[in-house]
Amino acid sequence: MILLRLEPGMDLMAEMEALEVEGAVVSGIGSLHGVRIRTADESILTVEGPLEIISLQGTITGDGVHIHIAVADSSGSVLGGHLKGYCRVRTTVELAVIPYHGKLRRVMDDRTGYRELLVLD
């Protein structure tokens, strides 16, 4: 398992994209200044902080990252969805990534219209 701490001002998405590992992001906690997410109806929301990361998980492949995130604002209201960026670390972010020793790729799935995960040994 790879454990990382991201420091204030770092970009969460950029740091995950820069990892030279393919695998599963199994945990993420910390705080952000704001976040951009895609919701289930494919709307894009920009949420201003301060925000606490309640949950963060997904995959890192040679084709990029696919991360879902839930964040809480200062009133405790929670929003979540597909992480799209605009995610500067406020105080800290702690990530846990389990490497996969095969190959992970994203390929177009005609049924969904999205690039979906392909797991190769």
What pLDDT digit, counting tens, does each position of 4-60 carry? 999 999 999 999 999 999 999 999 999 999 999 999 999 999 999 999 999 999 999
| Amino acid letter, 90 | R
How many CB atoms lie under 10 A from the CB of residue 97? 22
Whole-model pTM? Answer: 0.88
Straight-line distance from the first to the last Cα atom of the chain, in angstroms, rounded to the nearest whole number: 19
Residues 94 and 15 sit within 8 Å (Cβ to Cβ) = no
What pLDDT digit, counting tens, does each position of 53-99 carry? 999 999 999 888 999 999 999 999 999 999 999 999 999 999 999 99
